């Protein structure tokens, strides 16, 4: 197949903060990009729009000023998208030399590109716990999506557990909408907290202030906060009934609850980047594999990546990165006259600052990998195929040659299920590293395979036949 | 809070006023819904699960709520798969918790 001409419109995957900022930069330059997004409404995850069913709840949820700002931003975004070839409800399930595979309204389509920007964001990094497959346990990001998109609380008595700046934010949002029976179990060690505070004071004092005021708000509302908690198990027969943990003083406690939200920071969504040809590197501080990108987000001759899918840095950093990537793409498209080099320099500086802040914070919010080594062998590690920790530990000595995660996956099926390793991959790496006594960087990363989202059999067959 | 008494058997608690504008069904069980609701919001305020894992038979009820885990997969009666968290309700939607054909 021949590629499209060099002046074909640029293609953006993802209408979150990075994708929308990039679209805005293209529109300013008089170019109308194709914007593909899986959701029915733009906005991404962290900055997801509120369901129209909750239109009267925006003020209590975000505050009067912030909800006005949100409205203005959404109007701006709608205007930008009206000038793009914006395709909502479109799943991108594969990328093959110079083309994307789309699924929309049940039909598959092949889209050739000359310049591609992936802004696919991040999902929660998850560590398993005994009982985490029970109905009522959701990812932390999912608990926020439950509010904003599904207009619902995930339960009546909720435990928010793990570590993440989002932990307190999610709990506060539930609180503002009227839920009172909330407990926050923060697994960050106290020493880590201090480091984080120092890092934040240095790079983002505003974020530190926001964090402190969130905690004060939660305390005033009677929310219980336990620091340096060790998570032990979710209990229940057919759904969540209780949560067991150990507090900072080593005392075990059992909380009655009917829902749990867990999250241990964010991991980048990189399947498409891999299929589109990006190389990867391990970040020893963030402890995840990221696509290798230039300071402007370029990952290949026709490939750019921006936002949390390239480097975790939140919505604001994603906007800088998205805009910078678009400017870099304009240069590559021979439209350099539309780009001001001092703007690019300014964006690069801001991005570097956001990155330093992330690294400072990450030093505190380390994955409690040692938590895994204490979990019983019957704990489910891969929720899709129900592979246990014990099975994975036992498979390590059976793998021949240097053990890496893809071999363990082949033996146990851990990571082969329908979530494609999104929710077991982080823990799988930690477990294999521990069992082999090797560094996390040495045990590799789960390889992506198309389709990265399940597609109808008919579409898959057609594709195999080609 | 506007949670209705009828929702007490479910996992989710709606924050908006529920009303009956249309019906959807899961495994033949009819449930009232309001336009603009997601499928998972309707199902989980009425029920405590979306089916069972084909591997260990235990109840499942979604996990990521944003289209990434596929734990909320359901099938329409003609065999098409949907993710309950990514799909809006439509009147007469008839869903089943296990794939009706070979489609998995
Ligand atoms: S709950 Fe994960 S895809 Fe719907």
Cα A127 to averaged position of ligand 1 atoms, centre (Å): 17
For residue A314, what pLDDT is reported?
Answer: 85
Tell me the CA–centroid distance for residue B11 and ligand 1, in Å: 15
Which residues in chain A have their CB less than 8 angstroms from residue B63's CB?
137-139, 142, 383, 423
Chain A contacts of B38, Cβ < 8 Å? 51, 149-150
> How many beta-carbon contacts under 8 Å exist across A and B?
145
Asked if A422 has any chain B CB less than 8 Å from its own CB, the reply is yes
pLDDT of residue B2: 41
Contacts for A81 with CB less than 8 Å, ≥ 6 apart:
A15, A20, A23, A35, A42
Q: Which residues of chain A lie closer than 8 angstroms to B102, CB-CB?
A: 457
Ligand 1, closest atom to CA B67?
A: 3
CB contact under 8 A, B11 and A238: no
Query: What structural domains and CATH numbers belong to chain A?
Result: 11-123+267-361 (3.50.50.60), 126-264 (3.50.50.60), 369-443 (1.10.10.1100)
Question: Which residues in chain A (100-129) have CB-CB distances under 8 A to chain B?
Answer: 106, 123-124
Cβ-contact A129, A233 below 8 angstroms: yes
Which tokens sit at A35? 């914007």
- The ipTM (two decimal places) reads 0.92
How large is the average pLDDT for residues B49-78?
93
**Which atom of ligand 1 is the closest one to the Cα of B84?**
4
| Residue A323 at interface with chain B, using a CB cutoff of 8 Å | no
Verify whether the Cβ–Cβ distance B59 to A239 is below 8 Å. yes
Ligand 1 atom index nearest CA of A142 = 1
* Residue A53 forms contact with B (CB below 8 Å): yes
DSSP letter assigned to residue B7? G
CATH (one of 3.10.20.440, 3.40.640.10, 3.90.1150.10, 2.160.20.70) for B3-11+20-96: 3.10.20.440
Compute the distance between CA of residue A137 and CA of residue A104 in angstroms, rounded to an integer: 30
Q: Is A27 helix (H, G, I), strand (E, B) or coil?
A: helix
Q: Label residue B3 by pLDDT band (50, 70, 90).
A: very low
Q: Which ligand 1 atom lies nearest to the CA of residue B65?
A: 1
pLDDT digit of tens for each residue in chain A (466 aa)?
Answer: 456 777 799 999 999 999 999 999 999 999 999 999 999 999 988 788 999 999 899 999 988 999 999 999 999 999 999 999 999 999 999 998 899 999 998 889 999 999 999 999 999 999 999 999 999 999 999 999 999 999 999 999 999 999 887 899 999 999 999 999 999 999 988 766 766 676 666 666 677 778 888 889 999 999 999 988 999 999 999 999 999 999 999 999 999 999 999 999 999 999 999 999 999 999 988 889 999 999 999 999 999 999 999 998 888 899 999 999 999 999 999 998 989 999 999 999 999 988 888 887 777 666 667 788 899 999 999 999 999 999 999 998 877 777 889 999 999 999 988 899 999 999 999 999 988 888 999 999 999 988 888 777 666 555 544 4
A418 burial (CB, 10 Å; 0-12 / 13-18 / 19+) is middle
B45 lines ligand 1 (CB under 6 A): no
DSSP letters for A167-220: HHHHHHHHHHTT---EEEEE---HHHHHHHHHHHHHH-HHHHHHHHHHHHHHHH
Interface contact flag, A152 B12, Cβ < 8 Å: yes
Option in A153, A386, A453 nearest B12 (CB)? A153
**Best CA proximity match to A384, nearest among A439, A422, A438, A344:** A422
Residues of chain A with Cβ-Cβ distance to B73 below 8 Å are: 418, 454
pLDDT of residue A403: 83
Interface with A, mutate which of B53, B68, B82 (most A CBs under 10 A): B68
A152–B44 C-beta distance less than 8 A? yes
Instruction: For residue A257, give the chain B residue with the closest CA.
Output: B11
| Rounded CA separation A433/A426 (Å) | 11
Nearest to B59 among A53, A146, A238 (CB): A238
């Amino acid at each position: 197949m021949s590629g499209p001409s060099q002046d074909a419109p640029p293609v953006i995957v993802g209408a979150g903060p990075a994708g929308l900022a990039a679209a805005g930069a293209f529109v300013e330059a008089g170019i109308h990009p194709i914007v593909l997004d899986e959701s029915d409404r733009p906005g991404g995850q962290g900055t997801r729009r509120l369901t129209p069913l909750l239109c009267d709840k925006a003020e209590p949820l975000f505050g009067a000023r912030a909800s006005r700002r949100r409205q203005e931003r959404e109007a701006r975004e709608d205007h930008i998208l009206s000038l793009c070839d914006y395709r909502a409800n479109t799943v991108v399930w594969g990328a093959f030399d110079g083309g994307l595979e789309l699924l929309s309204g049940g039909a598959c389509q092949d889209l050739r590109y000359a310049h591609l920007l992936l802004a696919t964001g991040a999902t929660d990094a998850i560590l398993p716990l005994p009982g985490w497959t029970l109905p009522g346990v959701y990812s932390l990001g999912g608990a926020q999506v439950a509010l904003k998109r599904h207009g619902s609380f995930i339960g009546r008595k909720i435990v928010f557990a793990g570590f993440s700046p989002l932990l307190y934010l999610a709990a506060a949002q539930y609180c503002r909408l009227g839920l009172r029976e909330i407990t926050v179990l923060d697994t960050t060690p106290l020493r880590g907290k201090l480091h984080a505070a120092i890092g934040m004071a240095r790079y983002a004092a505003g974020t530190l202030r926001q964090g402190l005021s969130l905690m004060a708000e939660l305390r005033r509302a009677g929310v219980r906060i336990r620091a340096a908690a060790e998570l032990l198990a979710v209990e229940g027969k057919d759904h969540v009934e209780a949560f067991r943990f150990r507090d900072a003083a080593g005392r075990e406690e059992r909380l009655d609850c009917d829902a749990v939200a867990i999250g241990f920071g964010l991991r980048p969504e990189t399947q498409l980047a891999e299929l589109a040809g990006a190389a990867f590197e391990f970040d020893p501080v963030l402890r995840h594999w990221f696509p290798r990108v230039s300071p402007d987000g370029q990952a290949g001759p026709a490939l750019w990546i921006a936002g949390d899918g390239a480097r975790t840095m939140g919505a604001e950093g994603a906007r800088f990165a998205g805009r910078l990537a678009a400017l870099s793409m304009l240069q590559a498209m021979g439209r350099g006259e539309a780009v001001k080099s001092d703007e690019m320099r300014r964006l690069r500086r801001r991005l570097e600052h956001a990155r330093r802040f992330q690294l400072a914070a990450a030093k505190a919010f380390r994955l409690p990998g040692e938590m895994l080594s204490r979990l019983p062998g019957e704990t489910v590690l891969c929720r899709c195929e129900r592979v246990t920790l014990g099975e994975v530990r036992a498979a390590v000595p059976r793998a021949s040659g240097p053990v890496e995660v893809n071999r363990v996956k082949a033996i146990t099926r851990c990571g082969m299920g329908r979530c494609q390793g999104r929710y077991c991959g982080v823990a799988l790496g930690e477990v294999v590293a521990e069992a082999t006594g090797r560094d996390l960087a040495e045990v590799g990363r789960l390889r992506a395979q198309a389709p990265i989202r399940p597609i109808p059999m008919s579409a898959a067959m057609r594709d195999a036949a080609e | 809070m506007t949670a209705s008494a009828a929702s007490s058997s479910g996992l989710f608690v709606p924050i908006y006023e529920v009303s009956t504008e249309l019906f959807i069904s899961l495994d033949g069980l009819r449930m009232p819904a309001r336009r603009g609701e997601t499928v998972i919001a309707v199902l989980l305020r009425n029920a405590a699960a979306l089916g069972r894992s084909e591997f260990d038979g235990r109840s499942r009820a979604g996990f990521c709520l944003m289209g990434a885990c596929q734990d909320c997969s359901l099938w329409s009666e003609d065999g098409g798969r949907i993710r309950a968290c990514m799909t809006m309700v439509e009147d007469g939607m008839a869903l089943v918790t296990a794939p009706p054909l070979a489609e998995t």
